[in-house]
Structure 1
Amino acid sequence: MTSRAPLKIDIWSDIACPWCYIGKRNLEKGLAETAGDDDAPRVEIEYHSFELSPDTPVDFEGSSAEFLAERKGIGIDEARAMNERVAQIAEGAGLHYRFDLQQHTNTVKAHELIHFAKAHGKQLEMKERLLSAYFVEGRHVGRIDELVAMAEEVGLDPVAARDALESDAYLDAVRADQAQAQAYGINGVPFFVIDGKYGVSGAQPPEAFAQVARQVWAEKQA
């Protein structure tokens, strides 16, 4: 059998998307389920930028529920109930969301940092760090000082990270990801493109990701 190239999974997501972190965990669990297969898929994952609310200010004045109520045009109690439901689903994925600590912000700089990290071989680590910071730790992921600190936490050069963020060095890469999403017709995240052929929308359960990984890996057999 000819050696197969790894299974490529391209993921469009936003740091401020609660379902994106849940989807990330479910994908990881699904791929872990396939690891013991006789012909286990070899997988390469790449994240791509998507901004759910590009008009969000860097420093949003208000709580997570207030942001949700304002954005969706709903009452504050309904917004709190929505957050509570998402938090319960996140717990099922092993994530302890703290909407009471959350600091809503513009995510474009976080996306630029993920591209910087990708250029230095740390994209997956940076993505995880930012999602945890935003949803679990209540850290501010829109301010350059905070982003530089998190870059250093995953082993990146803080001086180079700051220079990249202050100069908008990776803004074009963010915009290119967004243009590709538009070309694909992606209007919500998370969105997974499996081997450039199959689209999977939303935070599917782990078994669904395991199934599609096995199916597409089998199709790659020479």
Structure 2
Amino acid sequence: MKCVEKYIFKKRNIYLISKHDINALKHIEIKPNVTITYYNLNDDHLESVLSHIYENKKLVTKYIKRNERDWKLIIAYYNNNPAGAFWIFEPNEKFFYDSIEINPNQILFCSVYVNSNYRGHGIQNQMREKALEYWMNNCIDKEVISVVERSNIASNKNIQRCGIKIKGYNYLIKLLGKNIVSIYKTNDKTNIWFLFNIKKA
């Protein structure tokens, strides 16, 4: 199955939130030894902080290039140590990110990661609570999208604990491991995107 998902076909869960879903969301309490904060992308220590969180250094090199116009970064500290990162993508024009089209009426929660040394403390959902706070205070009329691999059981359980529900699926058709077609299906719409010469974030 892993070979099929890597090289041929993959199905992912789409979680959507609108302002009509607010009453269904479950509040997540921030634990005393966890601190959640927004991080300035122009800070000189950004690379160092992300390197403490992400074990994949290629991702760090990629993420430090993100700009404050389209991106917001939330950092979790566990006993004052960088432990997790949670990104909000809020574009001013249509972009593709991770084979999904995101338009100015939407925001995407993505690149969520908790360092393996700090898992089991509910840090991912505590960061999501902060991200939802940003959405409610700044852009509540926009739709929130989260895309989660179906095989990522832990992440699916975590997001569902917040009262967020699967409202669609993303099907990726691959050629030699590269995504070439993305099918986005919810109850309201179906989009088919051919992933050639697209504007990526």
| TM-score normalized with structure 1 length | 0.21
Structure number with the bigger relative contact order (C-alpha 8 A, sep ≥ 6) is 1
Higher strand fraction: Structure 1 or Structure 2? 2
| TM-score normalized with structure 2 length | 0.22
Tell me which structure has the larger Cα radius of gyration. 1
Higher helix fraction: Structure 1 or Structure 2? 1
